[in-house]
């Protein structure tokens, strides 16, 4: 069984002890262990600040942008290898495409942004401002890289996209990164980072990897550092309160729970192209990556006189979703990332059921193709119904991170708008 390694100060090193066991999400078989025990987190930060940061700051925006493009082209050559590893996370090929090629797309996109900057190590921000009548005293703002490191604590659902969308930004800006992927799918992040390091495209210190606990790294951040977090709101809030982050005023960028919604217009009737698009999109949003997407539709608002027709259409569409081993040609939805994710999903669905009833799917049973429901982290799509969305709160506050969505009626367009706002900061309203 593989033991994941950490890339620290220019070396691949193993954490001490057995570490956390990681499992194939489809078969339940153990595939790796991960540990950062024994890692000197101060050494990790110092290497990024003292080696990686100066090397990146010496490069111009254009040089850093071309570096991103070269890296994307290199990683493209290894996509077949990454797809094989990604399948162990329970992802179908379409799911993996979003994660892998979407991640490379972030490198390409940020590379092209170099053209918006000068071929310099700094960027002039706006015009010069005279401070005296004789024009002998003036000021000019310039943008330069921070002298610290970006610490990225990432989510389990998109281990490659999540890593590269963040790193592409800080590398173009001239800052090194320390990546702490979610441990449950860290084996995929490690596979990609190994190819990044092997390419020699990045300067030493520009990227380090921690497969396991983040330890006390956040207790050691300083004013020139940046921290990003993707995950649950409760965990993010806890990390944001880390004394070193507060005392040093360290920027903390958090992407957490999102109760996204989709609204069917009052003028849309069954059989219309918009109706078909609506049903197709809801099904896709519920089942792509087994619903493990921060932009997934969690709340479905439809005119109250269409609630039965929409329910029938969605149930029919969801019933056609084949679930099971992503390697099977007929499978359209794979598993969750792991058993702990399945347990957490069940816990959150039970909360939702306090205000809703399930009209499709089950927490307990799922029909599978070429897979074992006891061993793999599989669940069925679940469609819930809440008939009084204006008088309930849980459905607007609890996100079940999986193939789960709640159907709700609205009376007027104004009420639909009010309901959408109850999601408080949702990423997407369609």
pLDDT, tens digit (0-9, with 9 covering 90-100), for 146-197: 999 999 999 999 999 999 999 999 999 999 999 999 999 999 999 999 999 9
The pLDDT confidence band at residue 85, using thresholds 50, 70 and 90, is very high
Query: What's the pLDDT tens digit per position in 350-402?
Result: 999 999 999 999 999 999 999 999 999 999 999 999 999 999 999 999 999 99
Interatomic CA distance for residues 86 and 103, integer angstroms = 13
Of the listed 63, 255, 344, 387, which one is catalytic?
255
Structural contact between residues 5 and 211, judged by C-beta atoms closer than 8 angstroms: yes
Return the pLDDT at 63.
Answer: 98
Active site residue 255: yes
Q: Give the Cα-Cα-Cα angle 278, 286, 302 (nearest 5 degrees).
A: 40
Collapsing DSSP states into helix, strand and coil, what is residue 309? helix
CA distance 199 to 209: 16
CATH 3.40.50.720: does it fit domain 2-127+142-255? Answer: no
For position 101, what pLDDT does the model report?
97
Active-site residue (options: 101, 211, 294, 355): 294
- Contact between 20 and 28 under an 8 Å Cβ cutoff? The reply is no
What proportion of the chain, given as a percentage, has pLDDT over 70?
100
Residue identified by tokens 């520009």 is: 206
**Residue that has been written with the tokens 């220019």 in this structure:** 10
pLDDT digits (tens, 9 = 90+) for 377-388: 999 999 999 999
Whether the pTM exceeds 0.85: the reply is yes
Q: Binning pLDDT at 50, 70 and 90, where does residue 425 land? A: low
Average pLDDT over residues 209-224: 97
Span 101-120, mean pLDDT? 97
> Is 123 part of the annotated catalytic residue set?
no
* H-type alpha helices, 159-272: 161-173, 186-199, 233-240, 243-247
Hey, where are the domains in the chain?
2-127+142-255, 261-421
- Kindly indicate whether the domain formed by 261-421 is annotated with CATH number 3.40.50.300: no
């Amino acid at each position: 069984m593989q033991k994941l390694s950490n890339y620290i100060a220019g070396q691949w090193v193993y954490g001490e002890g057995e570490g956390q066991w990681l499992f194939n999400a489809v078969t339940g078989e153990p595939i790796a262990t991960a540990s950062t025990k024994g890692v000197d987190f101060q050494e990790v930060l110092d290497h990024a600040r003292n080696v990686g940061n100066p090397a990146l700051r010496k490069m111009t925006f254009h040089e850093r942008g071309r570096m991103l493009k070269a890296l994307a082209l290199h990683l493209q050559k290894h996509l077949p290898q990454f797809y094989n590893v990604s399948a162990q996370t329970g992802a179908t090929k379409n799911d993996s495409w979003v994660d892998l090629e979407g991640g490379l797309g972030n490198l390409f996109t940020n590379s092209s942004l170099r053209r918006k900057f000068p071929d310099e190590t700094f960027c002039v921000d706006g015009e010069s401002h005279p401070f005296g009548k004789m024009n002998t005293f003036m000021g000019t703002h310039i943008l330069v890289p921070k002298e610290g490191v970006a610490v990225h604590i990432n989510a389990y659902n998109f281990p490659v996209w999540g890593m590269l969308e963040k790193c592409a930004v800080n590398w173009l800006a001239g800052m090194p990164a320390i990546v702490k992927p979610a441990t449950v799918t860290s084996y995929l992040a490690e596979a990609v980072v190994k190819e990044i390091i092997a390419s020699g495209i990045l300067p030493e210190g520009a990227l380090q990897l921690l497969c396991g606990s983040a330890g006390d790294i956040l207790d050691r951040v300083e004013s020139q550092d940046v921290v990003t977090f993707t995950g649950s709101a409760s965990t993010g809030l806890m990390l944001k309160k880390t004394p070193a982050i507060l005392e040093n005023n360290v920027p903390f960028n958090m992407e957490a729970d999102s109760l996204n919604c989709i609204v069917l217009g009052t003028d849309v009737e069954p059989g219309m192209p918009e109706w078909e698009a609506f049903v197709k999109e809801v099904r896709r949003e519920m089942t792509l990556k087994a619903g493990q997407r921060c932009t997934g539709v969690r709340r479905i608002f439809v005119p109250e006189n269409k609630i039965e027709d929409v329910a029938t259409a969605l149930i029919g569409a969801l019933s056609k979703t084949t679930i099971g081993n992503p390697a099977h040609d007929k499978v359209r939805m794979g598993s969750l990332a792991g058993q702990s994710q399945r347990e957490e999903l069940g816990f959150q669905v039970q909360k939702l059921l306090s205000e809703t009833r399930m009209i499709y799917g089950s927490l307990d049973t799922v029909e599978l193709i070429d897979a074992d429901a006891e061993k793999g982290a599989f669940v069925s799509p679940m469609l819930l119904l809440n008939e009084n969305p204006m008088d309930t709160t849980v459905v607007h506050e609890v996100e079940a991170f999986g193939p789960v969505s709640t159907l709700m009626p609205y009376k007027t367009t104004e009420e639909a708008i009010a309901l959408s706002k109850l999601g408080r900061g949702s990423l997407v309203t369609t």
